[in-house]
């Protein structure tokens, strides 16, 4: 089992992110899939959570060092990821060639 921090609002490719999916035989849970940016900001505020220090330097989507760059004014927050590459996800989240099967929504538990 794997619990991911991916959120549906982060990119067009994540808009229909399911709560549960199976990738390469492992259950992947995306508990924040349905959260909006406002939900995330409110959670940080309500629980007095600190923001990542790189956000103040313009890194609005943070991954590993080689795939993360500063987002320029007016750019999409994910523009700083994989700049200059034909990629939208790193290897840990699969991609077009990944063996990913979303669970049937009718089969997903209600929380």
Catalytic positions are: 90
- Angstrom distance (rounded) from CA 7 to CA 30: 8
Place of tokens 């909006």: 36
Q: Which of 97, 96, 87, 94 is nearest to 30 (CA)?
A: 94
Q: Which two tokens stand for residue 32?
A: 């924040």
Could you report the average pLDDT of every consecutive run of 10 residues in the chain (111 residues)? Answer: 89 88 89 95 97 92 84 86 74 51 49 41
- pTM score above 0.75: no
């Amino acid at each position: 089992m794997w619990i991911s921090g991916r959120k549906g609002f982060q990119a067009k490719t994540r808009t229909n992110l399911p709560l549960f999916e199976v990738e390469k035989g492992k259950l992947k849970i995306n508990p924040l899939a349905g959260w909006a940016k406002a939900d995330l900001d409110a959670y940080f505020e309500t629980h007095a959570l600190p923001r990542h220090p790189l956000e103040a330097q313009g890194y609005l989507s943070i991954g590993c060092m080689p795939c993360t760059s500063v987002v320029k004014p007016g750019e999409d927050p994910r523009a700083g990821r994989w700049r200059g590459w034909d990629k939208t996800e790193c290897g840990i989240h699969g991609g077009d060639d990944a063996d990913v099967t979303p669970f049937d929504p009718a089969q997903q538990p209600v929380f």
